[in-house]
């Protein structure tokens, strides 16, 4: 068998959640591939795609825990970013080609007060149009794939919520592009304003769309030049491991991760066996749509829906028992301990 045809074999003792600080230049799928090869586990997935340019929190599910990522679904995220005012690009970020460029005079007319007022307009409940070069599916095909195939894509706006959109710094430069001279508005360079921001938003919010929309509202165009996800749900970037770090195999037990995210009910050994065999047990389940049932040793047994009629609960998913090889949490390992 050739090297290219080898397939990773699943190790049933490696399962859980790994929180990675994604480096710039890799797709989220690239990160999954690296984790898959390093751990020797075929079943690996991620929650919340990050663009190649972006860095920060990327939550990786290993083994059966990949199902948990889908069940938990969307959760709020927090970012720091830099918006460059003065040019629009095909991708709404620095990776795309410049398609419109403001004059130096137009840029100079944009005041700090105008920037602050415009940013405030994009806080709260919004109807946001995703970038055409995004992972949104159109008739089963990713929008960015359609663009690459030469199609024109115009995605409909969708509801998002921006809880916080804070300006951290505003920097003005009359010659930000390499080769610019005296702030001249020509092919060599252009005037620009760089705005550092912090954004806290609902899942599905595109920060580069915010950059585009702020620039359009100010009449000078805008795009994203830096993006870092600093938090996803309860996972902070300080808890994440470097992708190439020596502690990459320190995978958080599924139950540890689930307890941080969901209301949880603790089961005894007998209840664990019964639930895994399909039986109901007499437990007091919180009236939440997603509740984790956790056995001794932070063993994630099942996720149930506690909003069913009466005092019953419906089972969303049952997770297999994991052998005790899962690495214990250590400082800086990317393991999310319960708070």
Instruction: Please identify every residue annotated as catalytic.
Output: 51
Angle, helices 207-218/112-121, rounded to nearest 10 degrees: 130
Contacts by 37-44 with C-beta closer than 8 Å and gap 24+? 37/8, 38/248, 38/249, 39/11, 39/14, 39/248, 39/249, 39/251, 40/8, 40/9, 40/10, 40/11, 40/14, 41/8, 41/10, 41/11, 41/14, 42/7, 42/8, 42/9, 42/10, 43/10
The conformational region for residue 49 under phi > 0 = left, psi -120 to 50 = alpha, else beta, is beta
Q: How far apart are CA 258 and CA 293, in angstroms?
A: 9
- CA–CA–CA angle 288, 136, 155 (5° rounding): 115
Place of tokens 């990713």: 142
Backbone angles phi, psi at 312, to 5 degrees: -90, 165
Q: How far apart are CA 188 and CA 229, in angstroms?
A: 32
Q: How far apart are CA 32 and CA 271, in angstroms?
A: 34
């Amino acid at each position: 068998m050739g090297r290219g045809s080898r397939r990773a074999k699943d190790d049933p003792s490696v399962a859980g959640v790994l929180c990675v600080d994604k480096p710039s230049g890799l797709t989220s799928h690239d990160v999954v591939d690296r984790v898959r090869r390093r751990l020797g586990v075929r079943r690996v997935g991620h929650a919340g795609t990050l663009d190649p340019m972006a860095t920060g929190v990327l939550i990786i599910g290993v083994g059966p825990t990949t199902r948990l990522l889908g069940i938990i679904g969307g959760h709020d995220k927090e970012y720091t970013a830099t918006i460059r005012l003065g040019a629009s690009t095909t991708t709404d970020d620095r990776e795309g080609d410049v398609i419109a460029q403001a004059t130096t005079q137009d840029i100079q007319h944009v005041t700090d007060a105008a920037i602050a007022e415009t940013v405030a307009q994009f806080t709260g409940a919004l109807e946001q149009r995703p970038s055409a070069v995004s992972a949104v599916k159109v008739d089963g095909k990713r929008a960015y794939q359609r663009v690459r195939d030469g199609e024109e894509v115009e995605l409909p706006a969708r509801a998002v919520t921006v809880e916080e959109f804070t300006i951290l710094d505003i920097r003005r430069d009359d010659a930000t592009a390499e080769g610019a001279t005296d702030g001249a508005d020509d092919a060599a360079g252009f005037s620009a304003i760089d705005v550092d921001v912090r954004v806290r938003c609902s899942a599905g919010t595109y920060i580069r769309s915010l950059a585009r929309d702020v620039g359009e509202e100010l009449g000078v165009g805008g795009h994203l030049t830096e993006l870092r996800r600093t938090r996803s749900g309860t996972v902070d970037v300080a808890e994440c491991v470097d992708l190439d770090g020596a502690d990459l195999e320190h995978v958080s037990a599924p139950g540890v991760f689930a307890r941080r995210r969901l209301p949880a009910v603790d089961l005894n050994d007998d209840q664990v066996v019964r639930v895994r065999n399909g039986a109901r047990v007499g437990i007091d389940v919180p009236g939440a749509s997603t509740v984790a049932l956790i056995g001794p040793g932070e063993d994630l047994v099942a996720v149930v829906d506690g909003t069913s009629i009466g005092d019953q609960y419906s089972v969303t998913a049952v997770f297999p028992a994991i052998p005790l090889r899962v690495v214990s949490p250590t400082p800086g390992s990317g393991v999310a301990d319960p708070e």
